Each structure stands twice: as C-alpha cells, then as structure tokens.
A and B are shown apart, each in its own frame.
Chain A
C-alpha cells in the first residue's frame, strides 16, 4: 500500500475564541472521492481551506504525499480549488480565465491553446473561448471554474459546495458530470457539501462532521445503514430514534415491546438508542406486530406515502410505505431484526458531539 495523498494530523483551529476544528485527523487516499458532509458551522469548509492553504491550523499538520505543507502558501501547493461562487475573473474572457494558471507557469502558447480546447471539450463548452463570464449561466460558469482548475493537472481537486447555487435539475446533471470527470481525469476529489443526497450519490467515502469533530467516516452504504450515533442517523436521511433497553444480545425492548435484532456486545439491561429507518417499518394488521398504534398523518410523496403512526406512549413513528393506510386506522408496527440499529447512549452533550472520535 502506498501512503495517503492527504494526511491531516491533529488539526485544531479556532476563530475569535470559537473552536471550529478540535483535534481533527483524517487521511485521504489517492484517487478517491471524499465528501465532507455536515450542517453549516460544522468545520467542513475550514478543513477544506486548511488543505487549500487559505487558513493555517492553530495546531497540527497537513501532509501532502508524504511532505509537510502546513505553512506552504496556496500558490505553492499542487492542488486546485473550485469555489462556491465560481470566483471567475469577470474582466477576462473564458479563455483567459482558463489560461490564468498556465500563464503563471510559463507554459508555451500552443500548449495553453491545446489545454483550453481540451478543457472546454471536457466540460462540454467547446467554442466558448471568447465569451465573457457574464454571458454564461450559473451551471456554465461552474463548469468553467472546474475547467480552469483541472487544466493545471492538480493531483487533488478541492470543491467547496460547487453546486450550492444551482437549481435541482442542473445540480443532478452536474453530479453525474463530476463523477464522469473524476473517472476520466483520475485525480483525487475532496468535496464539501451539506446536501446528504449529493454526498451519497457521488462519494467513495463520506466524512460526516459536526461541531468540529468527525462523527463517522465510511462508504455511503455504511453511513446510511449503520449510523454510529444519533447525529449521523438523523442527518443522513430520515430516522426514528427511540430510547430502548438492550435486554441481552440480539433482543431489545422499545416502549415495553420486545424486538429481535442482530446487535451484540451491549451487555444486559443496558439503556441504548435505537435507530429504525422509516422505510424499514412494516405496517401490519393489528395483533400481527410488536407495537400497536394509530395512523395520525398521511402525505403523498410520489414514490411512497409518508405516514405518522402514534403509539400509546405518545411517540410519533415516521413510516414510508408504498401501501396506503388512511388516517385513523389501527395498525401494528413490525421491524425485521437486521433493520434495527443499536447505538450507545451518549453520557453528555459534549460526548455526543465528539462521536466516534473518542
């Protein structure tokens, strides 16, 4: 195995006394597509800016391909950034924008011309060389920003919520575009977003962040299916998070009802948090499930119905189902053992934030 491309070691950073990153460590392998995901203020953009060289960490170091670059200025780093608001140079033509980095590196004219052509082709904007920035749509501008970055052949491309300003349809198109680009270019992407769907669609690895800590890191499937704490479970998709008691291995009690599960090693009679995805709940006829309740809300969502089932203890279960159960109907709740995810209860709020880093 060769060494990681990026290795962040014990990075801490605070602004005006507010801790933004607290002892964060993260490695990124060559040729991967890593997404930093989290709500605003979680430290994901700061992490990206530290890698890009626009901020320097208070403590800790940044290793790029085995070399310490913690205090190297941005213009000396072998990576490029695509900014949230594109940051194109509006007083230059598209061609001049793309050529900017190459001219600084004193590349020959013909080489630059070829690169511009190639990059514009790559982002599907051939023939736009002499257009002005202002005449392009948001999506086109974003593609130029990407073209401007990739002509420099960086080993690492940082993308800071690049699709944030685009509308839904364009955003979905651009997601595929980015995956295609990454595969064609074979360079490493670090991508920052607060949009969990974007993260799940594009990444090899998702890093979920909150309040300056990494909550969980893993493949999209593992993040979605096996959230390690309540924050991740809640942030990625919809979830029902309920208090439970782990009676013994593979058996958990929720609101007095016993559910079979697949988790082990939590001891006996231990309070835990239980995560159940709304699409994993089966509504069955009364008497056939472990818990009974009554349908209190119903919304048609297109691919499925979204329902709320209130159980006698007052908890409102979120349920996604393709079957319709009208409001007022008595139903029972059934969950398959492998759809139940057991998590340790955090002892304090701080511990909750620190998540699995502990």
Chain B
C-alpha cells in the first residue's frame, strides 16, 4: 500500500518537474527549431536549413547591432564593476544605520520598473541637453548595472577578514597595492559574478535601451523590435537562439565558479600534505585585466573613429519602418551623393511620434502613415517640402497625391512611398468544405457558417473600420450612435471569431488554421509565393469587399527641426526614381505609387488585382484620418467594451 503510494508520489513529483520544465523551455525550444526551418511560416515545417544563420551573419544591420550590444554590455559591465565595487567597499565601511539606508537606495533602481527607469533617464538626458546616442545607452546601462554589482560584491566583502587589509599595510604595502593584492583577490568571485550578471542584464535589456537610444544605433533587442511590423524574420530566431545560448553559458559560468573554488579548498584541507596552492585566481585576474584593457582601448578607438566619420556636415538622418527599404538603395544613395546616411527604424506610428515631438533625435526625413501625418501637420511638427528639389515627383501617380489630400490637403508636406488596402484573405479549399461562397462583402464575416474560422485584426481602428464599412458609414466617423451600432455589431461577431491577432494572420492563414482573415494587402505577394513554395493543396485569395475599405498610405515627410533639409529632399527625390522605386517594391513587395516603377513591372504583376487593385472600384474606400485625442478615447473605450464582452 505505502509502496504504491510512494511510487505514485514519486511519479507525480517527476511529472510535475517535467511539466514545469516544458512550461519554461517549450517556447525557447520552439524558437530554436524554427530557426532551422526552411519555410518562413511559423506553422509549417519546410525542411532543415542553416540559411537563416547565414543570412543573420551577412546582414550588416544585425552585425552592427550585435557589435553594439556586445560593446555596450562589456563596457557597461566593466564600468559598473569598477563603480559598484568601489561603492560596495564604501558602503561596507559605513555605520549600520547609514549602511541599511544607502543599500536600500542603491537597490531601488533594480526593483524599479524598467519603463520608469528608461523614461526618467531619457528625460534627464534631454533636460541636460545630452543628445541621445551610443553614450546615452552606455550611461543608462552602467546606471542600471551598478546595483547588481553592489549586490554581488557586498556578501564577499562581509566574508573577508577586515584585518588582512591592515596586515598588508602593516607589512609596508601602499593602500592601493594592499587593495589589489589582498582585498581584491578575496572579493574577486563577487566582482566576477557581478560582471557577468551586469553583462547579462545589459544583453537582456530592451525597454531602457529603447528610450535612451538615438539615431542610427540599435542593439539586438531594439533591432528585433523594429522588425515586428513586417513579421519577425527567421534570421531573428537564429539570432535569438544565439543570444539565449550565450546568456545560458554566462549563467552557467557564474554559478559554477564559486563551487569549483570551494572544492579546491576542500581537497587542500583533506590532503593535509604539501599541496601546491592553485594560482588560478591570479591567472584569471591577470587575463581578465588584459582583456579589459584591450576592450577599453578598442571601444575608445571605435567611438573616436565613429565620431570622426559622422562629424562630416554632409549627413542625413532617416527614420523609417523596419524592413521598409532595400539596403542596397541606401548604399547607392550614399555613393552617388556622398551623403552619410544614419538609418533608423521604428515599429509603430505611435512609437515614432514622441521621438519626433520631443526632438530627442533630430531626424531629417521620416516615413509615417496617413493619419499620423495629419496629426504631425496639425501639431506643426513638419516643414513644407521644396518640390523644386524633388523633380521626380511627377513619377508619382496623381491618384495617390489626390488620396493624400485627405491628410495633407495641399500636398505640401508629403510624398507617397507605399500604399495598400485592407481586405479579406480566404482559403479557397476551406470555404468550399464549409459550403460557403467566396466572400465579397464585409458582411460575410458575420456568416454563422464561418464560426471559429474568422481572424480579426486586433487593433481598434481596423476592427471598427470593418464594422463601420459593413454598416455603410465612414470609417472616420465620430458620430456616437454610429459607433455604438458598430460596437454592437462587433460584439455580435465575437462568438464567430477564432482570434484577434496582428501579424500572425499571415502565418495562421498559410498554415490553414482559419478560413478567412482580415489582412493588409502589402504582403500578398509574399503569402502567395509561400503557399506555392510549400506546395500546399489550397490557395489563398484576397478580396477587397464591395463596401469599400481602408486605403493606407505611407509617405515621406520632413520634420520641422530637420538639420539637413536639402539632403532630405535629395533622398525623397532619389526614392522617386522609377528604377529605385522598383528595387524597393521588389524588396518590400508593398504596392508602389510610383507610375514609372509600375510601368517597368511584368504585366502579370501589373494585373495582379490583390496587389494593385483597380482604384476606380475603390470610390467608397477611405484613408484613415487623425480624429483627435477625444474621439480616439471614445474609440478605445468602445473597443475595450467589445474585447471584454
């Protein structure tokens, strides 16, 4: 009886352990597996490949971000070690009451939410007129790393025999010599684990870096984040896998070291005989010092080098969506004009806006979306473009300039770059199985036969657009009764919806998980290619519902505080050249408003209606407008009601 009970207990405790481990590590393992997947899809296995790792290593953005990440992690950990160790020694010699208070104060930044630390650091930098960039990230990382060093050095200091330092002085040692020769070796394990902890923390940080970074500098975490919009590329899985393994190794070293040292002592004590004391700490100390010196020299050299190269007056700060340009184009522009481009990426309009508004980084040219351009114009954040410097503006199809008038009434501030529509993507085979006709109306998303087969956009304006258009209202309405109607419609739809998602729509649809989904047209080319590559037995078709839809437009604008306005105009003009626009279209695959580029396309692509829909049929379609903060709040409140229903 008790035996079976015990084995049962054993079984459950093992089961529990395995369960916890799976719970903790399944996501990471999934990511690692996907980093070897030939297909870009997250749900389809296309075979084993190392291509993503290769792509990662050959992408200059990733290599630069990797370089900065490691440099910042190393230099900040080193600086934090020096400052933190000195602080720990000072704190250790304080009276108990002061010690408790000071330790408490130094611990607060560690407990503080990252976002609070990040924002307050950014505000402090701006208040003191320090422009955001490499050095602000570095200072921030040093700041949040110091408490970790103090935390790991303090216990070691407590363990050390205070009189060894005095003994060294007594034997004629200079205080500094005594510290490095006698005290430091004793606290070395603490300093080392503090260093590794700080290094890991720095590698790990996203939020603080995000707030304190400036133009043209990315760490791996901010780089990955900036690519979320287009869907994270598998090369990022590869990169994340590499980071995870690096951190894992560092943690193993940190935890393994002290135990190893102790075991040496134990054998010493046990053997009792003449045992040559291992001089390992001294060796480690020396090589660490040497490595540190080399790294410091290296980074100083690099920073100065960077400074000199960017000190040229002929420069341009570009702020664009992630993955929204062919890298080659930037290089071609630099080569042709001799202008140094500092290229930076954002992930959402809402993220870009405060950066421009605060003037934290003075970008020369930015690529926001329609409604955001309207908001920026209303808030005097933009400057008029001198079109004499943009002769290629005539390459832009006038239709799009007309479309732009909804947010830039006189076409004075913006030049269209990419555009697209929102529509319904459907699985031809699946709807046939369900006995449903191919959708051509937003109303089809309320068809009970599609229960559990619908994917909706998880964003307030997109979701309301669907309902408002279905009701025949404007998607920019502020009429509360129309909005209430739309809200009720969305609530009615809820039982039919499988999930509210953002860019997973793409993968879920490719994976055949749902029959219909609301998607942005931009990636149709990619989706159709992927379905073909995977050899799937179904097709995904895109349709713009007959009630009209959201036409979206991303355009280049010049911020009012731009320092290199003429260079910005050169940039815009360069991107309007047909062959350049074509290159970008082939890379981005979003529809281009550039007529010259369109004419260069193969007829097959020109006629692909899911990519280039006939604009004549879109008379009921609209461009999002900025509604103002009050109406935004109404939309958000109603959306919250829908989501929590």
**Which chain B residues border A83 with CB–CB below 8 Å?**
163, 166-167
Interface core residue of B161, B170, B186, B281 (most chain A CB under 10 Å): B170
Shortest Cβ distance from B275 into chain A, in angstroms? 6
Q: How large is the interface on A (under 10, 10 to 19, 20 to 34, 35 or more residues)?
A: 20 to 34
CA distance A127 to B275 in the complex (A): 12
Q: Could you say which of A19-27, A98-106, A318-326 contacts chain B?
A: A98-106
Shortest Cβ distance from B270 into chain A, in angstroms? 9
A288 within 8 A of B: no
CA distance A92 to B178 in the complex (A): 14
- Our pick among B169, B173, B271 for the contact of A135 (Cβ within 8 Å) is B271
A277 within 8 A of B: no
A131 within 8 A of B: yes
Check if A54 sits within 8 Å of B166, measured CB to CB.
Answer: yes
Q: Quick one: closest A residue to B182, CB to CB?
A: A89
- Our pick among B168, B172, B181, B269 for the contact of A105 (Cβ within 8 Å) is B172
B171 within 8 A of A: yes
A269 within 8 A of B: no
CA distance A85 to B170 in the complex (A): 15
Check if B171 sits within 8 Å of A91, measured CB to CB.
Answer: no
Q: Could you say which of A72-80, A169-177, A202-210 contacts chain B?
A: A72-80
Check if A131 sits within 8 Å of B169, measured CB to CB.
Answer: no
Check if B269 sits within 8 Å of A134, measured CB to CB.
Answer: yes
Q: List residues 122-176 of chain B with CB under 8 A from any CB of chain A.
A: 161, 163-164, 166-175
**Which chain A residues border B166 with CB–CB below 8 Å?**
52, 54, 74, 81, 83, 87
Q: How large is the interface on B (under 10, 10 to 19, 20 to 34, 35 or more residues)?
A: 20 to 34
CA distance A253 to B72 in the complex (A): 87
Shortest Cβ distance from A72 into chain B, in angstroms? 12
**Which chain A residues border B274 with CB–CB below 8 Å?**
127-128, 130-131
Shortest Cβ distance from A118 into chain B, in angstroms? 17
- Our pick among B168, B185, B265, B268 for the contact of A100 (Cβ within 8 Å) is B168
Q: Quick one: closest A residue to B162, CB to CB?
A: A87
CA distance A81 to B171 in the complex (A): 8
Check if A88 sits within 8 Å of B170, measured CB to CB.
Answer: no
**What are the interface flags for A100-122 relative to B under an 8 Å C-beta threshold, 1 for contact and 0 otherwise?**
11001100000000000000000
**Which chain A residues border B435 with CB–CB below 8 Å?**
none
**Which chain A residues border B269 with CB–CB below 8 Å?**
134-135
B282 within 8 A of A: yes
Q: Quick one: closest A residue to B282, CB to CB?
A: A91
Check if A101 sits within 8 Å of B171, measured CB to CB.
Answer: yes
Check if A130 sits within 8 Å of B277, measured CB to CB.
Answer: yes
A311 within 8 A of B: no
A81/B167 contact (C-beta < 8 A), A91-B185, A135-B268 known = yes
Shortest Cβ distance from A343 into chain B, in angstroms? 39
A152 within 8 A of B: yes
Check if A75 sits within 8 Å of B167, measured CB to CB.
Answer: no
A135/B275 contact (C-beta < 8 A), A87-B163, A91-B281 known = yes
**Which chain B residues border A135 with CB–CB below 8 Å?**
268-269, 271-272, 275
Contact sample, A vs B, 19 pairs, CB 8 Å cutoff: A76-B172, A83-B167, A87-B161, A88-B164, A89-B182, A90-B186, A91-B185, A91-B277, A93-B276, A100-B173, A101-B171, A104-B171, A128-B274, A130-B277, A131-B274, A132-B265, A134-B268, A135-B272, A152-B172
Chain A positions within 8 Å of B, measured between CB atoms, are 52-54, 73-76, 80-81, 83-85, 87-93, 100-101, 104-105, 127-128, 130-132, 134-135, 145, 148-149, 152
Q: Which 9 A-B pairs have the closest CB atoms?
A: A101-B171, A87-B163, A87-B167, A132-B277, A74-B169, A83-B163, A91-B185, A104-B172, A81-B170
* Known interface pairs A75-B173, A89-B164, A128-B274; 7 further A-B residue pairs with C-beta atoms within 8 A, sorted by A's residue number: A52-B166, A75-B178, A81-B170, A91-B186, A101-B173, A149-B170, A152-B171
